[in-house]
Amino acid sequence: MKGRDFIITGLQSWDIPIGSNAIDIAKEIATTNRVLYVNTPLDQMTIFRNKIKPEEQRRLRVINKQEKPLRQISDSLWVVDLPFSVWSVNGLPDGPLFDFFNRLNNRKIFRYVAAIAKELGFREVIHFMDNDIYRSFYSKEYLKPRFSVYYRRDNLQPYPYWKKHVRRLEPLMIAKSDLVVCNSPQYADFSRPFNSRSFDIGQGVDLSAYNPDLKYDLPEMFNTIPEPRLGYIGDINSLRLDPDLLFELAKSRPQYSFVIIGSEDKVFKEHALHSLPNVYFPGSIAKNSVAQHMAAFQVCLNPQLLNEITNGNYPRKVDEYLAMGKPVIATRTATMEIFKDHTYLCKNLQEYQEASDKALLEDNETLKAARISFAQSHSWANNVANIYQYIQKFIQ
């Protein structure tokens, strides 16, 4: 697909320090089309409480007229920060009151976005919505796109923050979209009863930063952490990861070092894992040093809980681990079956224990090469080509 105009809205800001599907998709689409990426607007409660994250600072400066709203990233890619705040609606009771204020937000957002798109000369816009259920719910009414695509890449319904409104709104959002694309078969199966144009397009991953042939310097933190090291890098969230499983695994394998890198939630911070001498929580690291730290692991872990959040979720980090040629041990979920020929999938503690020993024992160059080749097949070019295929099939 070439020469089309896309507007992308989503839950993640262009300025976040971690990887983002929406940003990677925007960059890939912009290789042959024009893209306007809309940063999530700040809500009034966030500003009032002065809880501005580093990646939100520019948006606040735009609101205060200290920065221009529109910035050009490349010849065919723009990012817009909205020069206003929106109502904080999530705390409202579900139903008419929420819908009233959410509609006001949508009208304000998309009237401004439409004006920017007109200024850029965008025509017959394709609107791509990355799990953006609230702030894109009325986009058809106010943006009036030529074609709308809802991208379900995460199941928001079980999360405490989202579940009050999303359980009602997401099926409606799916139904009113012209196309629904998902990054797992399970998410497509969920969507299809509400919209027959619901398809699994797989997942793309930007692996340019993960070069297994580089000789990485050993990060200083590892000077006091003995091999073999079994590690995890990412968000340390008890809704997704199983701290009890990790505790029992580490306790049963005192000869191994378990290195858990990232920002911990309250459950992990207070867990008995911190009492084990072979478990290390070094904290967060810079995004550009992830591969360097990953290279210091002998085995990579993804010890997920099995629940409605994780079962259909595509774990990008597993592709990153594999791209570095690393043995990967992970919980067996429905989506992880995609990786079954290149990972060690486990259902319980005993299987994790056996896999930990086996992964260290049998690792070799042939297995490493197969892992790298498999991960590299999940490119964003292939993923976006799947999106184009369905858009072209249904756009009138």
Instruction: Decide if 157 contacts 308 (C-beta within 8 A).
Output: yes
**What three-state secondary structure class fits 352?**
helix
Q: Residue ranges per domain, the chain? A: 5-204+379-394, 220-376
Q: How confident is the model at residue 84, as a pLDDT?
A: 96
Residue 337 CB neighbour total at 10 angstroms: 11
Amino acid letter, residue 29: I
- For residue 137, name the pLDDT band (cuts at 50, 70, 90): very high
Sign of the C-alpha dihedral computed for residues 180, 393, 24 and 57 taken in this order? negative
Question: Tens digit of pLDDT for each residue in 300-322?
Answer: 999 999 888 888 788 889 999 99
Residues composing the chain: 396
> Residue 312 has which token pair?
């259909």
- Among 106, 179, 97, CA closest to 137: 106
- The distance from CA 35 to its chain's CA centroid, rounded to whole angstroms, is 20
> Residue 229 has which token pair?
């090291």
Return d(Cα 104, Cα 24) in angstroms, integer: 30
Q: What average pLDDT does range 59-80 have in this prediction?
A: 96
Q: How confident is the model at residue 20, as a pLDDT?
A: 86
Return d(Cα 238, Cα 93) in angstroms, integer: 27
Q: How confident is the model at residue 2, as a pLDDT?
A: 95
- For residue 127, name the pLDDT band (cuts at 50, 70, 90): very high
241 bridge partner residues:
304
Buried b (16+ CB within 10 A) or exposed e, 244-278: ebbbbbbbebeebbbbbbbebbeebeebebeeeeb
Q: How confident is the model at residue 328, as a pLDDT?
A: 98
pLDDT of 50 > 80? The answer is no
List, edge to edge, every strand of the sheet that includes 229-233. Answer: 279-283, 257-261, 229-233, 299-302, 328-331, 344-346
Return d(Cα 57, Cα 352) in angstroms, integer: 42
Return d(Cα 263, Cα 266) in angstroms, integer: 10
267 bridge partner residues:
none
Q: How confident is the model at residue 17, as a pLDDT?
A: 74
Q: How confident is the model at residue 319, as a pLDDT?
A: 94
Question: Tens digit of pLDDT for each residue in 197-238?
Answer: 999 999 888 888 899 999 999 999 999 999 999 999 999 999
Between 48 and 191, where is the model more confident?
191
> Residue 388 has which token pair?
């184009």
How many angstroms separate the most distant Cα atoms in the chain? 63
pLDDT of 27 > 90? The answer is yes
Percent of the chain with pLDDT over 90: 84
- For residue 379, name the pLDDT band (cuts at 50, 70, 90): confident
DSSP state of 168: H
Amino acid letter, residue 269: K
Q: How confident is the model at residue 282, as a pLDDT?
A: 95
Q: 220-376, superfamily in CATH?
A: Glycogen Phosphorylase B; (3.40.50.2000)
Helices 316-323, 365-376: crossing angle, 10 deg rounding: 130
Question: Tens digit of pLDDT for each residue in 97-108?
Answer: 999 999 999 999
Return d(Cα 114, Cα 123) in angstroms, integer: 10
Q: How confident is the model at residue 56, as a pLDDT?
A: 87
Question: Tens digit of pLDDT for each residue in 142-183?
Answer: 999 999 999 999 999 888 889 999 999 999 999 999 999 999
Q: DSSP 3-state helix, strand, coil percentages of the chain (rounded to 5)?
A: 40, 20, 40
Q: Is 3.40.50.920 the CATH number for 5-204+379-394?
A: no
Are the folds of 5-204+379-394 and 220-376 the same? yes
Q: How confident is the model at residue 16, as a pLDDT?
A: 84
φ and ψ of 152, to 5 deg:
-100, 100
Q: What average pLDDT does range 247-256 have in this prediction?
A: 98
Q: How confident is the model at residue 354, as a pLDDT?
A: 98
- Among 186, 212, 208, 209, CA closest to 199: 186
Q: How confident is the model at residue 233, as a pLDDT?
A: 95
In whole numbers, what is the pLDDT of the chain averaged over residues?
94
Question: Tens digit of pLDDT for each residue in 320-363?
Answer: 999 999 999 999 988 899 999 999 999 999 999 999 999 999 99
> Residue 71 has which token pair?
């910035």
Residues 6+ apart with CB under 8 A from 374: 322, 339, 341, 342
Return d(Cα 251, Cα 276) in angstroms, integer: 7
